[in-house]
Structure 1
Amino acid sequence: MVAEGVQHILDEDFELLEIVSDGEALVDAVRRLQPDLVVADINMPRCNGMDALKRMRQVGMGTRLIFLTMHMEPALAVAALRAGASGYILKCSAGEDLRNAAQQVMLGGTYVTPALGARYISGQLTDMRNLTTKQLQVLRLVGEGLRSKQIALQLGLSVRTVEAHKYTMMQVLGVHSTLELVRRAEDLGLLF
């Protein structure tokens, strides 16, 4: 039913080559047909959409891919774009968004559902505003893989202060481990 809806939305500008039901079939179809554009869901059996996209990119398939998904998490959209997706559209706003996304992507651009982009940007600004300069310094060193003792030596702080900064940042960013802290910071563009 979703595939028929996508076909109807894009019918004027695109020719449907094939409908697949899982990630393995998606990778195979892209290899065989070499389409200009793929619209896929992140949730697919056998191989999810993100893994299928990564496999396609690893073997040099450059087909443009737009994710059409129910996942409203901005960090997932960022991860999809970093993995090589050209667009990220929410199913709840698929109509006009999908048509606009397809046109923009075919011109070499990137498209994210506007509401999701606004949500990401406002979340990023809020999160960044709540971190101090010292916390951001600690965060960048954590992102480089340094341990608390090494960070303390480098910044002239006590190990206890470094741990306190890490704990506070975890609270602000809503994570529960150092690994989650680093991943969240990467998603927010706080690490470079």
Structure 2
Amino acid sequence: MPINIAVVDDHVMVREGLIQLLELDKDIKVVGQAGDGTQCLELLKNMDVDVLLLDINMPTMNGLEVLKIMRERKDNTKVIVLTIHNEVEYLVKAVDIGINGYMLKDSDSDELKKAIYCVNEGETYIQPKLSPMLNSRLINRNEDEKKIECLTRREFEVLKLLAEGMFNKEIASKLNISERTVKNHVSNIFKKITVADRTQAAVFAIKNNIITV
């Protein structure tokens, strides 16, 4: 039985090129396509799809939002994110939500087909050149989690407000504490999360989802 594939990408030429490439393989059958996230979710309601090739940057709803909804629906369709993004943050977010594969669009056809076969068999396929980057980020994230655990509840609150752009005086007013106390908390936070200034602290908070932007 062929593997039923759906291709989701807002660029028509990319989508059609992928479909033509995949249809050369007798073990793969393209059963659907979509140009945005909303169309993708509708497609999945009406078609039996084994593996979904999903772009990240799309109108109406991006690929990660689609993936999140799919997992909330308990949709067991295997998903390979196929994207131009080689930034580790996109990859980590996709892994956290629940991808089965992650490939860059400059991959060759043999590697893409290998990924499709792997995820269809229940394995996870991360493009090999991305794996060191992912592993390094996950190690760093574990270290960051330990740093966060060292923060007191009040220090965590101060870090969150600091990262949202508040000055010490505003934080003091918000938490009903003295400005001097805020300064002490900020100093302790910098030491515990090993940053040198407020900008680095804000980046730390964003990177670890303490605040969202």
Q: TM-score, normalised by structure 1?
A: 0.73
8 Å contact kept, 1:68–1:89: yes
8 Å contact kept, 2:79–2:101: yes
Query: Structure 1 residues 137, 80: CA separation in 2 closer, same or farther (over 3 Å shift)?
Result: closer
Aligned pair count?
A: 169
How far the C-alpha of 1:149 sits from its partner, in A, is 8.3
8 Å contact kept, 1:149–1:159: no
State the AA in 1 paired with 2:33. Answer: I
How far the C-alpha of 1:136 sits from its partner, in A, is 6.7
User: Gaps (5+ residues) in structure 1?
Assistant: 151-157, 185-192
Query: Structure 1 residues 5, 43: CA separation in 2 closer, same or farther (over 3 Å shift)?
Result: same
Q: Any idea what the Cα deviations from partners look like across 1:5-61, whole Å, max 9, x if unmatched?
A: 322343212111111111000000011102111101011111111111111221221
Query: Structure 1 residues 121, 47: CA separation in 2 closer, same or farther (over 3 Å shift)?
Result: same
Report % sequence identity.
28
State the AA in 2 paired with 1:34. Answer: D
Equivalences for 1:74-153 in 2 at 5 Å? 74-122=88-136, 127=140, 137-142=146-151, 146-148=153-155
Residue 28 of structure 2 aligns to a residue whose secondary structure is coil
CA RMSD, 1 decimal: 3.2
Residue 19 of structure 1 aligns to a residue whose secondary structure is strand
State the AA in 2 paired with 1:147. Answer: R
Query: Structure 1 residues 54, 116: CA separation in 2 closer, same or farther (over 3 Å shift)?
Result: same
8 Å contact kept, 1:35–1:63: yes
State the AA in 2 paired with 1:59. Answer: R
Q: Any idea what the Cα deviations from partners look like across 1:146-165, whole Å, max 9, x if unmatched?
A: 23289xxxxxxx74652222
State the AA in 1 paired with 2:205. Answer: L
Match of 1:180 in 2: 206
Q: Is 1:15 paired with 2:22?
A: no
**Greater Rg, structure 1 or structure 2?**
2
Residue 18 of structure 1 aligns to a residue whose secondary structure is strand
Query: Structure 1 residues 107, 177: CA separation in 2 closer, same or farther (over 3 Å shift)?
Result: same
User: Gaps (5+ residues) in structure 2?
Assistant: 1-12, 158-183
Query: Structure 1 residues 170, 111: CA separation in 2 closer, same or farther (over 3 Å shift)?
Result: farther
How far the C-alpha of 1:178 sits from its partner, in A, is 5.4
Q: Is 1:40 paired with 2:22?
A: no
More strand by share: 2
